């Protein structure tokens, strides 16, 4: 049994960690079972346990998702020392209202020149199951200082923390690196 407040808190913590990341690496498995990653633009829609993207229905990833909907999202924000890996399941939708809500003229017109009404355009939702996050000092100078401190003291905790979030149960564990 999960605690709704704990789930809400875990989701909010992950949302804060990935906020400001502009591109995510989206990983699927191909027909041979190999992992395949490609960049997708992060939508301005706030993370609420699900992440949203736009994609073409005729892209290879759609066939890969039909065979195996399990995916990974890798968020990297090196500027603030935050790295997040989300494990979840992808769902494809051709709901025109959802596509319109995700559409950005500035970004999407380049990749989808036929516009948001293109029948080949789909919304892609990833429902997160778990997340792993690694955080460190937010500046390069801070990270360098923490590295030197860890090296001199032998205390790897100075390098930052690793957190595991179970977004279904709300359980969270934190360890030093």
Over the chain (177 residues), what is each successive 10-residue block's mean pLDDT? Answer: 86 96 97 96 94 97 97 92 96 97 92 94 98 75 51 58 93 79
Is residue 150, in this structure, part of any structural domain at all? no
Structural domain count of the chain? 1
Residue 156 within any structural domain of the chain: no
Query: Cα(123)–Cα(57) distance, rounded to whole angstroms?
Result: 9
pLDDT at 143: 47
Give the single-character DSSP code of 70. Answer: E
Residue 151 located in a structural domain:
no
Two structure tokens written together for 126 = 């990833």
Residue 16 belongs to a domain: yes
Q: Which residues constitute the domain of residue 115? A: 4-138+161-172
The reported pLDDT for the residue numbered 140 is 52
pLDDT for residue 154: 58
The pTM score is 0.86
What is the pLDDT, as a whole number, of residue 175? Answer: 79
Question: Does the residue 177 lie in any domain?
Answer: no
Cα(124)–Cα(132) distance, rounded to whole angstroms? 21
Return d(Cα 125, Cα 159) in angstroms, integer: 33
The 3-state DSSP class for residue 34 equals coil
Domain of 94: which CATH number?
2.30.110.10
Rounded to whole angstroms, the Cα distance separating 126 from 93 reads 11
Q: Which helix (H) or strand (E) holds 60?
A: helix 60-67
């Amino acid at each position: 049994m999960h605690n709704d407040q704990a789930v809400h808190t875990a989701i909010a913590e992950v949302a804060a960690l990935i906020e400001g990341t502009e591109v995510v690496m989206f990983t699927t498995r191909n027909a041979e079972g190999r992992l395949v990653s490609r960049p997708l633009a992060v939508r301005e829609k706030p993370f609420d346990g699900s992440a949203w993207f736009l994609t073409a229905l005729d892209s290879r990833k759609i066939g890969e998702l039909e065979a195996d909907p399990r995916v990974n999202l890798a968020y990297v924000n090196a500027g603030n020392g935050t790295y997040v890996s989300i494990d979840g399941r992808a769902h494809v939708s051709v709901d025109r209202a959802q596509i319109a809500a995700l559409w950005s003229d500035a970004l999407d017109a380049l990749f989808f020149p036929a516009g948001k009404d293109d029948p080949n355009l789909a919304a892609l939702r990833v429902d997160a199951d778990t997340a792993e996050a690694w955080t460190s000092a937010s500046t390069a100078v801070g990270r360098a200082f923490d590295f030197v401190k860890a090296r001199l003291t032998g205390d790897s905790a100075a390098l930052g923390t690793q957190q595991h979030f179970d977004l279904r149960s709300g359980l969270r564990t934190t360890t030093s690196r």
